[in-house]
Structure 1
Amino acid sequence: MEVFAEFLNNIDNPEHRARMEEVLSSVIHKFPDLVPVIKWNQPMFTHHGTYIIGFSTSKKHMAVSPESAGMIHFSEEISQAGYDQTKQLIRIPWNHPVDYELLAKMIQYNLEDKADCTTFWR
């Protein structure tokens, strides 16, 4: 979590900061082979140099981005979880529970789908 310390410290709302820390910690514990990094001022996780998942924050929500392939693959489940989505990200309102099972499935999908990927993005 040390790599994310500055990012987390810059989240003014303590509840939002705690929520983001909880989500990032859960990814680290469930997927210890992922590399936590900060790129473009956002926390991300990579594997063998390729992007797996990224996070960002706004006043009203936490955003999760599994790349567009992950968005397409999980679009129905994202909607069923009650999250708003665009082509590139999922918006999880701060007052809405995080679907950790869906998050883990998106990460696992990207790990498998990008196993032979040699670039950062698809």
Structure 2
Amino acid sequence: MKDIQEFFSTISEPDHRKRLEELFEWTMKTYPQFSVVIKWNQPMFTDHGTFIISYSPSKKHLSIAPETVTIATFKKDIEKSDYAHTDNIIKITWDQPIDFTLLKNIIDYNVQEKIDYTKFWRE
């Protein structure tokens, strides 16, 4: 996979594709300093070369991956928003609204926590 448009073209469900496109647009508008890189056939948002967050579709939900430490930090807020989660991803069903305040808090946390970070992933 070479670019974000190729990624979007792999999403067969039109409503899921539209929702992801809108989420990507919101992220780029809110964080214009971010770059999108494709790794492991997955688009990921980076800031100064370090991973911040990624979004991907599955059959039943939208997956949000901000790294395990971030999920642990925001666990109560994630559960308060009625989202399922694992240690690695937040699962937002296709019929649930996106809590953009929570998402912004998660992204802002990663940006601040990794401001001087030079590696892609946390260790």
CA distance in 1, matches of 2:43, 2:18: 15
1:62-115 deviations in whole A, cap 9, x for unaligned? 100110111011100000111000001100001111111111111110000001
What amino acid is the match of 1:34?
Answer: F
Match of 1:93 in 2: 93
2:10 is aligned to 10
Q: Secondary structure of 1:76's partner? A: helix
Q: Which residue of 1 aligns with 2:81?
A: 81
SS in 2 for 1:23: helix
Structure 1: any 5+ residue segments left out of the alignment?
Answer: none
Task: Let me know the Cα RMSD of the aligned residues.
Answer: 1.2
Matched pairs, number: 121
State the distance in 2 between where 1:102 and 1:8 align.
24
TM-score, normalisation: structure 2: 0.95
User: What's the CA shift string for 1:21-64, capped at 9, x where partnerless?
Assistant: 01111000000001112111112100111100011111100100
In 1, Cα distance between equivalents of 2:38 and 2:99: 23
**Percent identical residues:** 43
User: What is the 5 A alignment of 1:1-122?
Assistant: 3-122=3-122
Q: Normalising to structure 1: TM-score of the pair?
A: 0.95
Q: Deviation of residue 4 (structure 1)?
A: 1.2
**Distance of 2:57 and 2:121 partners within structure 1:** 21
